[in-house]
Chain A
Amino acid sequence: MAVDRDLYRKERALRVALFVTCVNDTMFPGTGRATVTLLRRLGCDVVFPMGQTCCGQMHLNTGYPEEGGRLARHFTDVFAGHDAVVVPSGSCAAMIREQYARLAPAATAFAERVAETVPKVHELSEFLVDVLGVTDVGAYFPHRVTYHPTCHSLRGLRLGDRPVRLLEQVRGLELVPLPAADECCGFGGTFAVKNPAVSAAMCADKARNVTATGAEVLCAADNSCLMHIGGTLGRQRTGVRTMHLAEILASTEAAR
């Protein structure tokens, strides 16, 4: 994605609006706090627009485009005018980038807002690598970790190896490759409850591949997928825990 780097090369601290996402806000606030810690450590001025709620993905992808569209419009209203919006979720960022333009009827104020806001929305690892231009974020995390690239990060946003490059620079971290990493874990939003048998069968294979690595931590850039895989790893008493990329990158020798 083309990025206006000059925008961020000003003397003042970069002003970043955090879109924490509804899942992180409600269920995984630690990921939000870690994102704030990390961005501040890298010199950003982080703001949290209190009007934010949800990107609308659950509604749109479950077949409720009216509600999804309303939430998308709300998002563009809340985040218009910010220089950069950072999202610690691959699938929410992909929803915004891929689907908002389809939701906004052409030649409306909503469409204008989408055209203006969406290019400024960055998934966390994109923001770190492409905008800030860093891969070594000064993190320390002395554990054996495997990384699951999640479908919307991999095939939606095309994050490529950005998250892995970030993890490789973390001191003390031993990164082990995940077999069949590009296969879906079976979450799929409401798919997990609408098609529970197939969802569980897919996650059984994912969990088997995770435990085969011998890792103690499974990392991803999306807590919704991690909630699914982590829920399975927990039920099977594998002892493997899940962590969002932001939480590993926020860890330092001083404060963990």
Chain B
Amino acid sequence: MRPATGPVTFLGMPAFPANAAAAVGNSQLRFNLRKATHTIREKRASVVDELPDWARLRQAGKQIKDHTLRNLERYLLQLEEAVTAAGGHVHWAADAREANRIVTRLVKETGESDVVKVKSMATQEIGLNEALAEAGITAYETDLAELIVQLGDDLPSHILVPAIHRSRAEIREIFLERMAAWGRPAPEELTDDPRALAEAARRHLRERFLSTKVAISGANFMIAETGTLVVLESEGNGRMCLTLPETLISVVGIEKLLPTWRDLEVFMQLLPRSSTGERMNPYTSTWTGATEGQEFHLVLLDNGRTRVLADEVGRQALRCIRCSACLNVCPVYERAGGHAYGSVYPGPIGAILTPQLRGMSSPLDASLPYASTLCGACFDVCPVAIDIPEVLVSLRGRAPHPRAERFGMRAAGWVLDRPERMARAERMAGRLRRFVPRRMPGPLSAWTDTRDLPEIPAESFRDWWLRTDGGNR
């Protein structure tokens, strides 16, 4: 039943500006993204504004996460003990490769070759589906949007709504063309009515839930005191995966920890309002260890997180609860789309998370800290107060710079270091002002392609001040 899929990967993508330039010209994408981000943005704003204590909740969320990250080792060991005591098995994975190896082995030990998946960013991050496919195991995505992405041989473009770049007409086509290769086909008379599309997905997935014996999930939170994992979702498909199969394997980043259930209360208010713009999400599943007759494995994933934790400015990114509020308000994300970021983590949070987790050695990763105007809209909506612009500026200071830019910035720095040099440069610009072309050559054409240049004044302010004695002459 397993369909042949082409290589679907972010690897080897060009840098952000080129990806974004292509996306900006795609009218269907622009329309889909504008409509979707503005809808969620407004929903979020209305349910956040109705809470009088939002600012304090946000501070509480920030402080709980910071406290946990400062004491990560202690709480992780407490979690391991509690999960083990409740009949679960805990595995530690230093990187993506080790995590994939552990999960592949665990699935093979069950003798099964099919697994169902709960939507999970951690397993996307490590490329688990591809690793399982290499071992002859098929992973079936069961989140509606992840299903659309998987059927379309596509890549996710949003943390919460991975198929946000698709319109319902496109989804209908994908269902009609691809569902049959993966299981129960879509009905021939399928329309692009959302209800009909959801019904087709429901029937397609229901068979899968009933027949598959292994499930793989992530988790939104892990509670150290009791060893409990928590998944918040809207569809109920996650709960199907979490309860029906005989074996459950959860891959969770080590920063997802909370010390106590009391701490969870804060995040149960912050997360749904920030992500889907709902007061409460429809389904919250919690489980502690293994239920009788079932197996539970927890794979704790580092994959660069402890390195991020060592960075005094960058570590605040580990507070992220993957709500995607920053994506929905970001004017750059809205126009460039998620794929331009070349990572499962797009948008503002991706621009600070990806370069920290992967490094900045590829042109794409080095361009991500610059994929922002530093407008600050992301920081304003972040439910755990991650100062994304601060981290972006810090990463830019460490990013590799093009040689011509380095030269230009050094020269500008040299001129601005001394007021007399600056005055001389201004006088020279004033004298040459008639020779400035309307269309600039080289890198400055990036400005004049779409914008007029302002006219260079004949006299700078400081020369006016000197000549007139501050306007007194």
* Residues of A near any B CB (own CB < 8 A): 20, 22, 24-30, 32-33, 36-37, 46-48, 50-54, 58-65, 67, 70-71, 74, 99, 102, 151-152, 155-156, 182-184, 186-203, 227-228, 230-232, 234-235
Q: Considering the chains assembled together, what is the distance between the CA atoms of A184 and B332 in angstroms? A: 9
* Cβ-defined contact, A26 with B429, below 8 A: yes
Interface residues in B353-388 (C-beta closer than 8 Å to A): 369-377, 379-380
**Interface-facing stretch out of B16-24, B74-82, B155-163:** B16-24
Closest Cβ neighbor of B406 among chain A residues: A64
* Cβ-defined contact, B374 with A61, below 8 A: yes
* Cβ-defined contact, A232 with B20, below 8 A: no
**B335 in complex: contacting residue of A60, A62, A198, CB < 8 Å:** A198
Q: Considering the chains assembled together, what is the distance between the CA atoms of A67 and B401 in angstroms? A: 14
Q: Is B454 an interface residue (CB 8 A)?
A: yes
* Cβ-defined contact, A198 with B332, below 8 A: yes
**B372 in complex: contacting residue of A27, A54, A64, A188, CB < 8 Å:** A188
Chain B residues within an 8 Å CB radius of A195: 16-17, 20, 332, 370-371
12 A-B residue pairs with CB within 8 Å: A32-B465, A53-B422, A60-B393, A61-B396, A74-B417, A184-B373, A187-B373, A191-B373, A193-B443, A195-B20, A198-B24, A203-B450
With A230-B454, A235-B452 given, is the CB distance from A188 to B444 under 8 Å? no
Chain A residues within an 8 Å CB radius of B422: 22, 25-26, 53-54
Shortest C-beta distance, A154 to chain B (Å), equals 8
Shortest C-beta distance, B179 to chain A (Å), equals 35
Interface residues in B246-302 (C-beta closer than 8 Å to A): none
Chain A residues within an 8 Å CB radius of B94: none
Chain A residues within an 8 Å CB radius of B443: 193
Q: Considering the chains assembled together, what is the distance between the CA atoms of A136 and B395 in angstroms? A: 44
Chain B residues within an 8 Å CB radius of A228: 451
Apart from the given pairs A32-B461, A54-B416, 5 other A-B contacts in the complex at a CB distance below 8 Å: A25-B460, A192-B447, A198-B20, A230-B452, A235-B450
Q: Is B399 an interface residue (CB 8 A)?
A: yes
* Cβ-defined contact, B447 with A196, below 8 A: yes
With A29-B461, A193-B444 given, is the CB distance from A53 to B336 under 8 Å? no
* Cβ-defined contact, B370 with A231, below 8 A: no
Most chain B beta carbons < 10 A, residue from A25, A51, A63? A63
Closest Cβ neighbor of B414 among chain A residues: A67
Q: Considering the chains assembled together, what is the distance between the CA atoms of A192 and B447 in angstroms? A: 7
Q: Considering the chains assembled together, what is the distance between the CA atoms of A25 and B456 in angstroms? A: 11
* Cβ-defined contact, B335 with A201, below 8 A: yes
Q: Considering the chains assembled together, what is the distance between the CA atoms of A61 and B418 in angstroms? A: 21
Chain B residues within an 8 Å CB radius of A189: 373-374
Chain B residues within an 8 Å CB radius of A227: 454
Chain B residues within an 8 Å CB radius of A231: 447, 450-454
Q: Considering the chains assembled together, what is the distance between the CA atoms of A62 and B398 in angstroms? A: 11
**B397 in complex: contacting residue of A32, A63, A74, A188, CB < 8 Å:** A63
Closest Cβ neighbor of B329 among chain A residues: A183
Q: Is B410 an interface residue (CB 8 A)?
A: yes
Shortest C-beta distance, A36 to chain B (Å), equals 6
Q: Is B412 an interface residue (CB 8 A)?
A: yes
* Cβ-defined contact, B426 with A26, below 8 A: yes
Interface residues in B1-54 (C-beta closer than 8 Å to A): 16-17, 20-21, 24-25, 30
